[in-house]
Chain A
């Protein structure tokens, strides 16, 4: 991609720079900033409330707050713009109620703005922050907090000064995932009529037909992210705490009644806005427009979705595991590099990534066919770029960051001294891995697998472009209908996407509790 970017046309750049690019860039920066800030606020406060306080309905909220993750952002965007638009049911009802005639009669916030987009995107992305932070909190060594308290800190102070800073690596991993997902997004911001750098990438490529310039813009986007992530890592570099015998008995902060009400309504509001409301809307649409016959027709499509999500999740987790362990156990000076590189795929917009896949596997396919012809075999055709191999590869590139981040932050919680102890007891590397690392990493591995599975179920642009003939997934099916203003007919498919994503979430959440 970088290589292709070198050939970018200067003319087009100066045109874009003089016209729309400045506003696109400022939109991109603002959007990224707001989404990250909001997700951190939502995610960290929920995680703190759930782990460190006695907030009501704790057990339900625990997993309810993860559910927005299963909602594709483009769907939620569509539902919310539809709901709060001037022509949407909310404003229509208000107008009828108060007998207003035109927009000048009253004030209503405009959902199709940068802020509107930021809020909606944060609503579906904050569970990343929540999940990773919660796991970090739960794995924290409580003795440290106790030590803090014995030194005269209050419960609140010891939380703010000890627990929160300790969770920072996990929080920053989550924040960078959120940032990357936001910047790579195209469909969602389009509903909000917000133009970002991703818009510019598509404009230059599809509108102006200049793939090279589009690649150059995509590279700029990557630089943004590189900068953000590296800054964060620098700040984080020297802070770590590992404990040999973590004490996980939590001291809980007791909330007063008012606090209790505020805290639980905050959590419930998030769960409601991020999941319950949009999912409810989908169900209502499906009840209106669908029947069981359609459900059966969707089954093979659903199987396709599950199939590629399974492959992608398993491969991503395996690769992330290998890379993380390599980084951890190798003495090589360059040991960080492969993992860091593999992390940036998440920031590449799906369609751009799909192009890169075609550029990579196209020539390989051509050589295969050339060789086959040379040896007088039947030419096999496009075995790589024309099959779901390309789709799965694209998914692995895109979602490796999620698996990596999750497993890595889990690995960070395992004290090095355990490795040393294991080695001193005469265990080889293999034994240390199977007896120490893997069992301790189990929750993180499960979480990584789950996150990739859910994301792969939702993914649209890459699968749309790379799929073979007659290969529909739930997301391509729903997209076709949405793009022709028929979400109602697509509601059933959308529900299946969400449900199929939910099942592993709930199952794994149960599993994690018992580990």
Chain B
């Protein structure tokens, strides 16, 4: 009997820790690490008194949302690239939010035409080059050039950031040419694709390679880290394709969940995230480019200079994603 009551208490205590559905809360499913967005949520809670609950995961969030269906507690979804937003949209897990506050803040290019998703920040897929090479003017296409034989480092070709880049190449050059480009770039690699964007800069610092692909904000983060500072100081950050279509840009974004139970709070949070103070916080702490044109990037980021961004629609990038993955497989890029 005693054991049974213990068991019962166990089960009840399990169930009690379940649902957060009180009034002054908003629930976020995030592909971004909580510590990156926590300062923003703290500020929001300070302003409004609304508590923000977060679950972070990189894999399977869309699946969870779909399975939860209309009982899903999720209100706001945060993603780190365009393809996840499009996936959520295609699976009919989002609802439109027509807010003049957001529409005024986010440029047309960086939100869905049906108001189902919005960018919060933009990030460039930069090419880092070692200081040994001096100042260079480089295009993504040049990565296939024989002069970089054995001098290029990159993370896995199948990482979403690289897949998006390849997708933009397909939009520009078509499948066949992109495949040739991938194969030639693969032949130029100093080592099998591995590690993160920062690890490639570290490899340049160690003289293992001269060129690497990496997102813009990592440069700032490395410069602000005691250990990684020397890596970053060994490289120049280049904005590719400045004489033609411009550098490939991806976004981090947000969306309103289809069955959001705390819709009012969710909308308040979303409008807050594109507000000036929030965008400033994004710029200062995460080293990303704020999506608002009237908020400046951080001083450090601004010091890398102005650049032209590829005008290609992000929806097109997302549409070529699967083809891009297939080409990366075909080029045996990761093997």
Query: A residues touching B (Cβ–Cβ < 8 Å)?
Result: 15-16, 19-20, 23, 86-87, 92, 101-103, 112, 191-193, 195, 202-203, 206-209, 211, 311, 351, 354-355, 358-359, 362, 365-366, 369, 379-383, 385-389, 392, 461, 464-471, 476, 480-481, 483-485, 488
B55 touches A467 (CB 8 A): yes
State whether the Cβ of B301 lies closer than 8 Å to any Cβ in chain A: no
Other than the given A366-B69, A381-B21, A469-B54, 7 more pairs (CB < 8 A) read A15-B329, A193-B192, A207-B163, A382-B18, A386-B19, A465-B64, A470-B54
A19 to B329, CA, bound (A): 6
A469 touches B332 (CB 8 A): no
A354 to B205, CA, bound (A): 40
Known: A208-B325, A469-B54. A358 touches B67 (CB 8 A): yes
Contact with A along B192-223 (1 / 0, CB 8 A): 11111011001101111000000000000000
B326 touches A469 (CB 8 A): no
Nearest Cβ in chain B — how far from A217, in angstroms?
14
B335 touches A202 (CB 8 A): no
B15 touches A389 (CB 8 A): yes
State whether the Cβ of B156 lies closer than 8 Å to any Cβ in chain A: yes
Known: A20-B335, A386-B19. A86 touches B68 (CB 8 A): no
Nearest Cβ in chain B — how far from A61, in angstroms?
35
B14 touches A388 (CB 8 A): yes
Known: A193-B334, A362-B69. A102 touches B207 (CB 8 A): yes
Contacts of B332 in A (CB 8 A): 19-20, 23
Q: Which of B27-35, B102-110, B241-249, B269-277 binds A? A: B27-35
Contacts of B205 in A (CB 8 A): 87
A87 touches B203 (CB 8 A): yes
A-B contact pairs, 16 of them (CB 8 A): A23-B335, A86-B206, A86-B208, A192-B194, A193-B156, A193-B195, A206-B59, A207-B158, A209-B87, A386-B68, A389-B15, A465-B64, A468-B55, A469-B20, A469-B54, A485-B199
A98 to B92, CA, bound (A): 60
Q: Which 3 A-B pairs have the closest CB atoms?
A: A193-B194, A469-B53, A362-B67
A382 touches B68 (CB 8 A): yes
Q: For B156, give the chain A residue with the smallest CB separation.
A: A193
State whether the Cβ of B253 lies closer than 8 Å to any Cβ in chain A: no
Known: A112-B192, A366-B71, A469-B73. A19 touches B330 (CB 8 A): yes
B55 touches A480 (CB 8 A): no
Contact with A along B156-174 (1 / 0, CB 8 A): 1010000100000000000
Contact of B58 among A15, A355, A362, A483 (CB under 8 A): A483
Contacts of B163 in A (CB 8 A): 207
Q: For B13, give the chain A residue with the smallest CB separation.
A: A307
A15 touches B33 (CB 8 A): no
Contacts of A484 in B (CB 8 A): 33, 35-36
Known: A101-B207, A207-B163, A209-B322. A369 touches B59 (CB 8 A): no
B67 touches A359 (CB 8 A): yes
Q: For B334, give the chain A residue with the smallest CB separation.
A: A195
A382 touches B19 (CB 8 A): yes
B19 touches A193 (CB 8 A): no
Q: For B218, give the chain A residue with the smallest CB separation.
A: A485
A387 touches B208 (CB 8 A): no
Nearest Cβ in chain A — how far from B282, in angstroms?
16
Contacts of A207 in B (CB 8 A): 158, 163, 322, 325
Contact with A along B16-28 (1 / 0, CB 8 A): 0111110000010
Nearest Cβ in chain B — how far from A59, in angstroms?
37
State whether the Cβ of B57 lies closer than 8 Å to any Cβ in chain A: yes
* CB-CB contacts below 8 Å: B55-84 with A: 55-61, 63-64, 67-69, 71-73
Contacts of A480 in B (CB 8 A): 33-35, 56
A366 to B71, CA, bound (A): 8
A355 to B192, CA, bound (A): 31
Contact of A351 among B56, B59, B194, B207 (CB under 8 A): B59
A355 touches B15 (CB 8 A): no
A351 touches B60 (CB 8 A): yes
Contact of B15 among A193, A383, A461, A464 (CB under 8 A): A383
Q: For A210, give the chain B residue with the smallest CB separation.
A: B322
Nearest Cβ in chain A — how far from B121, in angstroms?
16
Contacts of B194 in A (CB 8 A): 112, 191-193
A469 touches B55 (CB 8 A): yes
Q: For A315, give the chain B residue with the smallest CB separation.
A: B10
Known: A206-B59, A207-B163. A392 touches B14 (CB 8 A): yes
B334 touches A311 (CB 8 A): no
Nearest Cβ in chain B — how far from A372, in angstroms?
11
A193 to B334, CA, bound (A): 8
A380 to B57, CA, bound (A): 25
Contacts of A366 in B (CB 8 A): 69, 71
A354 touches B60 (CB 8 A): yes
B53 touches A87 (CB 8 A): no
A480 to B33, CA, bound (A): 6
Contact of B71 among A15, A19, A379 (CB under 8 A): A379
A211 to B66, CA, bound (A): 12
Contacts of B71 in A (CB 8 A): 365-366, 369, 379, 381-382, 386
Contacts of B21 in A (CB 8 A): 381
A288 to B244, CA, bound (A): 47
